[in-house]
Structure 1
Amino acid sequence: MAPTPAYALIATDLDGTLLRGDDTVSDRSLAALARVARAGARHLVVTGRPAPRVRPLLADLGCTGLAVCGQGAQVYDAGTDRLLWSVRLDRELAETALGKIEAEVGQVYAAVDQDGVDGLTLIEPGYRMPHPTLPAVRVGRRDDLWAKPISKVLLRHATLSDDELAAVARAAVGSLATVTMSGPGTVELQPGGVTKATGLALAAERLGIGADRAIAFGDMPNDIPMFDWAARGVAMADAHPELKAVADEVTLSNEDDGIAVVLERLFPTD
């Protein structure tokens, strides 16, 4: 009888974690994930990217099952191309939150991810996409951002660092929304109470796998709830200090196949 794998669920962030800087997954990482699958464990992508921006990557990974998208606001079924669960950010509430932040720090530049499997990313004048490879539609004015239901708002400031902007946003917004920082130039507002752990727990329940058999990999503060939920959290070498502080282990960077290094240790034989 084959031995039971150390973990039944491998939850990985994408940007700065599984993906290299050019948005690709290395051959070594792909081989490690294949080894995981042969052992009977499941790989679950848990990303801040909305479902429409994840489709091509899931196809490259050969994923036809579930993925957690939009910072936990979406559980997406790649096999049927539909959202099994999604939470919208109230647009009036989002406008109010932006106003409170701008009252503290002056002008911010905003973008939104629309809800749905075909939702667009809209950016207002002055906003620069942190990932230039991701498609976005520029609108003429902020009011145009609220044309359709949204899952989250992305923020940038001309002079404040991400840490500074996130701290101000949390203090200004309070319980109106959840404030996360998911990468360079990426401070986000999402529905209150929603985190990566929210979507991860729902997806894991559908798969029949408990948190005690899950290991999570990440690199930014938005991965902290995921680490809190899973039995083990592994931070990348160049992860944000806040995440490293709560990680059970620090591996190599995404460019150096940090995930593969850990998985090869945990799943030593095919």
Structure 2
Amino acid sequence: MVAPSPYSLIATDLDGTLLRDDDTLSERSLAALARAGRAGARHLVVTGRPAPRVRPLLDDLGCTGLAVCGQGAQVYDAGADRLLWSVTLDRELAETALGKIEAEVGQVYAAVDQDGVDGLTLIEPGYLMPHPTLPALRVARRDDLWCAPISKVLLRHHTLSDDELAATARSVVGSLATVTMSGPGTVELQPCGVTKATGLALAAGHLGLSPGQAIAFGDMPNDIPMFEWAAYGVAMANAHPELKALADEITTSNEDDGIAVVLERLFD
């Protein structure tokens, strides 16, 4: 008889992790998650995407429970279509942080994710969406980004790499915001102290689950706090070197069903 898996909580990032590069879910990954669910494990999506941009994927996953969105700034109840918890980034602090970054590196291009289950993604002139499949509304000027409460700011620079932009932002932003790097072309400012781990801890607590019961999957530095919180962290083959260095295991890539490879072993 095969021993039961020690993990009752499966926390997965989306982009570059559970999703393939074309933003789709493979049948193998869906089957592996379903098998784990039948064994009693709970699956939590833990993503940088805001709740409105996660709903279609949660439908595809058949998820009617909780999801951690907005880099941990939102805990979303898919069944009720409401936020159980959310925290916003002060817009004046966000503007100040942007000013400090631009004083160091010159012009950056910004976008924001608005708070709420129907919040929009607004992009200023010059900003290019790293995921062209995600809907966004272009505004006429930067001031228009601050028209409603926001959960985070997304930044791009025309010449600096993501690593360079994130490092500079961290050096000047201080306690104004938390700086994360969540994917190619995606450096973000979120409320100070908020990470994927803070949102995951809240969602897990709501489900009565602890870090010792959790396995986490990710691909970017924004997943580091989640790996530090969970008992076991699995990085994708395509993951950023910073995350690979911290991982307990490196699986195959998101294109090669890396999550399924691990779950099939654990929930055989």
Tell me the secondary structure at the aligned position of residue 140 of structure 1. Answer: coil
Shift in Å, 1:2: 9.6
Amino acid at match of 1:261: V
Aligned to 1:9: 9
Unaligned segments of structure 2, at least 5 residues: none
**Runs (5+) with no aligned partner, structure 1:** none
Once residues 51 and 5 of structure 2 are traced to their aligned partners in structure 1, the CA distance between those partners, rounded to angstroms, is 29
TM-score (norm 1): 0.98
1:170 aligned onto 2:187: no
Q: Tell me if structure 1 keeps the 8 A contact 2:169–2:179.
A: yes
Deviations 1:45-86 (A, max 9, x none): 000000000000000000000000000000000000000000
What is aligned with 2:193?
193
Measure, in 1, the Cα distance between the counterparts of 2:165 and 2:5: 41
Displacement of 1:5:
3.0
Output the CA distance in 2 between the equivalents of 1:219 and 1:54: 18
Is structure 2 residue 88 aligned with structure 1 residue 88?
A: yes
Alignment RMSD (CA, Å): 1.0
Give the whole-Å Cα distance in 2 for the aligned partners of 1:209 and 1:93.
Answer: 34
Residue in 2 aligned with 1:257? 257
Take 2:72 and 2:264, find their aligned partners in 1: how far apart are those partners?
A: 27
Q: Is the 8 A contact 2:4 2:267 kept in 1?
A: no
How far apart, CA to CA, are the structure 2 residues paired with 1:132 and 1:78? 24
- Whether the aligned pair in 2 keeps the contact of 1:91 and 1:146 (CA below 8 Å) is yes
The offset of 1:3, in angstroms, is 5.7
Equivalenced residues, count: 268
Letter in 1 for 2:107: Q
- Give runs of aligned pairs for residues 1-270 of structure 1, distance below 5 A: 4-268=4-268
- Mapped to 2, the partners of 1:238 and 1:60 lie a distance apart of 24
| Whole-Å separation in 1 of the counterparts to 2:203 and 2:71 | 13
Q: 1-side partners of 2:34 and 2:138: how far apart?
A: 39
Matched AA of 1:190: Q
CA contact (8 A) 2:76 2:82 kept: yes
Question: What percentage of residue pairs aligned between the two structures are identical?
Answer: 86
